[in-house]
Structure 1
Amino acid sequence: MIGDDLVRPTQRSCPLTPELQLLITLRFLGKASFQSEIADLHGVVQSSVSNAVTATINALCRHLDFIKFPNDLTSKRKIKEGFYEIAGFPDVLGCIDGTLIPIMRPPTNEEVAYVCRKGYHAINIQGICDPDLRFINIVCK
């Protein structure tokens, strides 16, 4: 879905494939590791990791219109039935979780807005999934 957004024509060298950019981004977001470590793991330089993460996240944000919290009664009923079948909990409309994504220190407001409770600079991400493990809502602040 985002592959076309990640294609970068170049005449200097071999660009990273859209698949590799997505894998790099998922590793970065999932492991909260240093970009240099991810670069070593994938055999690229740190600046390529930074560019891939930025491009992939921007592409995903442009396509987030497919992630929607259900607003019709039929969809809500189906989700509630799915959760009830899994765990026997009635009237559950989603499973929520969150994580902290480490970021570089921002130049402004860093003490107020970006230092997490664990003492490092981070952005908080929250996601809600349906019983089929599909995102139905994402908030990033």
Structure 2
Amino acid sequence: MEHLEIERKFLVKSEGYKHQANEHTRIVQGFLNTAPQRTVRVRIKGDKGFLTVKGESNVSGTTRFEWETEINVAEATNLIDLCEAVILEKNRYKVPFGSHVFEVDEFLGENKGLVVAEVELQHEDEFFDKPEWLGQEVTGDVRYYNSQLSINPFQNW
């Protein structure tokens, strides 16, 4: 199946990633639909807008269908106005480590205090080096899905 996203997700235990990052971007995103079978996300990343549809995760939580297309920022802004109540805001750091790139999301607003790292893989059991700042794995824990953070923010836990 095309458009498969395979990733693992971890909590972050220290700020060491900031010194290793080669890119930093502000992201604002909302969800038009948070049903696990088909989440529909609108995102403004820097000066670009995106519309993304994701399917339901497999049993391990590592793999699911993902389709994304770029839209202009004005369209994305209008769509965010239609999104469910909690709009996510975060700073994303891209951190190369070994042969992979980790995306570290430092959440703001109602999810402030949550820092999560994701690594995309070619297959579920692919080996990757783990940086010292990487903490507990939370792959498959639905509480950490962005769609769920828009329903039940981290500060409510």
User: Normalized against structure 2, the TM-score is what?
Assistant: 0.21
Greater relative CO (CA pairs within 8 A, separation 6+): 2
Determine which structure has more spread, i.e. the larger CA radius of gyration.
Answer: 1
**Which of the two has greater strand per residue?**
2
